[in-house]
Structure 1
Amino acid sequence: MQNTLQDYIPKLSVSKVLELLEHEHLVVKIKRERKTRHGDYKPLANGKHQITINSNLNPYRFLITLIHEVAHFEAFRTYGPTIKPHGLEWKRTFQHLILPFLNPEVFPNDLLPLLAKHFKNPKASSDTDAKLALALKQFDEPNNKTYIFEVPLGSHFKLYNGKVFKRGNKRVKRYECAEVKTGRLYLFNPNVEVELIN
């Protein structure tokens, strides 16, 4: 596992991460990209526990996602199966587990204040924290995608699944967009990546 993990996470986080994963009943699998999630955790019928993480994540997002999923495992072990998936027990566990990694040896200095703010009350996904998500995306491989907030009002864009939308007005934080085919309205976070249609 060490040889595999060191290809995906910041170098100086490897030894601490391996300590967190030292459980005979915990299995970590690295998967191809899934559009709807960065990773997941589930207890298996055979008594083992499985964490999966997408292989296409940049090292910082991979590390955050891995610790997020380990927090699910630890919260399950400590508090049992009846807790809310992203409830108080998980949040406290996540905060406790991520703290040793929040330093300039692991994360770039410009990410640390955003991470500190995010982990005061971590959400179910770091993607819902628009500022943090945008800051993390600067470390992704370049692509030809545009963020929703960059799409001009009234312009059309396409999602990964081929659906076409027209960008509408910004509400408080999210953007109202109408699916062209059905006319149904959807709300998009500002940091969603889309393909602009000219």
Structure 2
Amino acid sequence: MDKVKVLEKYLPSDAAPLIGRWIDYFKCEFKISRNRGSKFGDYRSPYGGKGHRISVNYDLNPYAFLVTTVHEFAHLHTWNEHKQKAKPHGTEWKANFKKMMQPFFEKDIFPADVKHAITSYLNNPAASSCSDLNLYRSLRKYDVPKESVLTVEKVPLKALFKIKGGRVFRKEEQLRKRFKCVEIATKRVYLFSPVAEVELVED
């Protein structure tokens, strides 16, 4: 099956031809992956006889899939230019991400709020990666709603919630950007991102 036709199932259709050309141009193995709770996408540089490899989670909405794909291709491009000398989300990567995002801005592929969030993210050197919360929240608005799933920031203080795998936590106060949460079984303290997806537990 034509790779562009496959990509159109996951990306905004106007974006698929360019991503298809990048896969060919960079001789990249591009894989649509299962959901990985800890990350949306992944880039692996050439190693052990294998070339560039990119994987992106299959269950992202089209805009999140595209932002993640460009994010990973910017890592590939930065590696080609600088090898290991550039920081993972340093100045060189940011410049490439901005440059590689430009064609999609010109095609007007993103909704205004997502475009604004990407622009402010790129203009903010303090945001070290796509864990930028403003951008993440903008992209999440376009997800298909999931029953019974909410984010840690929406969980009431002192309420119980569980994560995938069934471990149960109690939400405590916010410490800078993350929430302190206590695992009920072990009494150990963990810090959760405000946008981590969890399920409320009834007392």
Q: Identify whether the pair has TM-score above 0.5, normalized to the shorter chain.
A: yes
User: RMSD value over aligned CA atoms?
Assistant: 1.9
Which aligned segments of 4 or more residues in structure 1 are displaced greater than 6 angstroms?
none
Given candidates 155, 160, 166, the residue that maps to 2:164 is 160
| Structure 1 length-normalised TM | 0.90
Is the aligned partner of 1:182 residue 2:186?
Answer: yes
Distance 1:47 1:173, change over 3 A: closer
SS at match of 1:177: strand
Alignment partner of 1:70 is 2:55: no
Q: How far did 1:184 drift?
A: 2.0
Deviations 1:99-131, CA, capped at 9 Å, x for gaps: 2223572111222211110122475542x3222
Q: Is 1:129 aligned with 2:147?
A: no
Aligned-residue identity in percent: 35
In structure 1, what is the Cα distance between the partners aligned to 2:87 and 2:80? 13
Unmatched 5+ stretches in structure 1:
none
Indicate which of 30, 51, 54 corresponds to 1:51: 54
State how far apart, in whole Å, the 1-side matches of 2:64 and 2:135 are: 10
Work out the CA distance in 1 between the residues paired with 2:48 and 2:180.
42
Match of 1:87 in 2: 90
1:2-51 deviation line (CA, Å, top 9, x unaligned): 11111111112123223322326311011111111111111232251111
In structure 2, the gaps of 5 or more residues are none
Instruction: Map 1:114-153 to 2 at 5 A.
Output: 114-121=117-124, 123=127, 125-126=129-130, 128-143=131-146, 144-153=148-157
Moved more, 83-92 or 51-60: 83-92
Per the alignment, in what secondary structure is the counterpart of residue 14 of structure 2? Answer: helix
Letter in 2 for 1:119: L
- Indicate conservation of the 8 Å contact 1:12/1:105, yes or no: no
TM-score by length of 2: 0.88
